[in-house]
Amino acid sequence: MTTTIALAGKGGTGKTTVASLVIKTLIAQGADNILAIDADPSANLNLALGLPLEQTIGDIREDMLDQVNPMNGNLNGRPGMNKFDYLDYEIEYALVEGDHVDLLAMGRPEGPGCYCAVNHILRDIIDRLGRSYDYVIIDNEAGMEHLSRRTTRDVDVLYVVTDPTVRGVVAANRIAGMRDEMDINIKNAYLIVNRVAGELTPALQEAVDQVGIPLGGIIPADPQVTSMDANGQALVNLPPDSVIVQAIESIVQQTVPARQPG
């Protein structure tokens, strides 16, 4: 049974940092079969995980559409291969395999034209691929409106990440409120306040208390993260005594259901 964890929040809140350290925590707990999906067009989860990235799903999608014959819908130069088989093959090839975690990056957004059929095929392929993993971690782009276009699977845990500002928390509350409008079932959702220096101010605490989902945890500001980001170092190499690593370990332990044997 696959456990799916998704992250949402406005841009710049540190979703990718949190996603990479959730993966680090799961691996430390013994998980060795994780699929990470970078659904942000900026595609930098690979850097946080210390993995290479040569091709994205967006590249594959555009390459395929360039090969479609407008007269008959067939793929030029690929007789007998339909769109599903083409995408299936190319996605398997684009999968970046690492130690304990594999990575797919969604990449660039769609260009002009209709992408509905292609996106439906992509979603089916990615869902099928995800069933072979114990955990699927989806680092989503800003907002949540694109999440159901990435997967049809239930989301076991949604982390809505915010910066430590009242405006950020209000935005996070709006994002969290969209979960009931999704075509997928989100079982549990939590607010994560990231990069907190010291205690929450009374105004910020009041804003947090008004959010329609429980507080999953507070992540302190960690200068080590800033330094490693500046030097292009993988965040999964943060030491176990890092304050941010310890904070995310605590969040995962309290919010991610323990996997049942078998």
Residue extents of the structural domains in the chain = 3-255
DSSP string covering 75-89: BTT-TT--HHHHHHH
Q: What's the pLDDT at 143?
A: 67
Type and span of the H or E element at 159: strand 155-162
Supply 146's token pair. 């694109």
Q: Which pTM was predicted?
A: 0.90
Query: To 10 degrees, the CA torsion angle through 35, 38, 39, 40?
Result: 170
| Whether pLDDT at 125 is above 60 | yes
3.40.50.300, 1.20.120.420, 1.10.3720.10, 1.10.357.10: which CATH number matches 3-255?
3.40.50.300
CB 129 within 8 A of CB 88: no
How confident is the model over 75-116, as pLDDT tens digits?
776 666 777 888 888 888 889 999 999 999 988 665 554 446
Distance CA 26, CA 36 (A): 12
Q: Which residues contact 151 (CB under 8 A, 6 or more apart)?
A: 4, 123, 126, 127, 130, 136, 138, 184
Burial of 236 (0-12, 13-18, 19+ CB in 10 A): buried
Scan for tokens 């947090």, then name that residue: 208
Q: Per-residue pLDDT tens for 220-229?
A: 999 999 999 8
On the question of pLDDT at 34 being above 70, the answer is: yes
So what's the pLDDT on residue 167? 96
Burial of 98 (0-12, 13-18, 19+ CB in 10 A): middle
Other beta carbons less than 10 A from residue 99's beta carbon:
11
pLDDT of residue 120: 76
* pLDDT for 194: 98
Where residue 261 falls among pLDDT bands split at 50, 70, 90?
low
Q: How far is Cα 53 from Cα 121, in angstroms, rounded to an integer? A: 22
Give the chain's mean pLDDT.
88
Structure tokens at 163: 């910066």
pLDDT of residue 151: 66
Report yes or no: 145 and 80 within 8 Å, Cβ to Cβ.
no
Structure tokens at 138: 């989806």
Res. 183 pLDDT band, cuts 50 70 90: confident
State yes or no: pLDDT of 54 exceeds 70.
yes
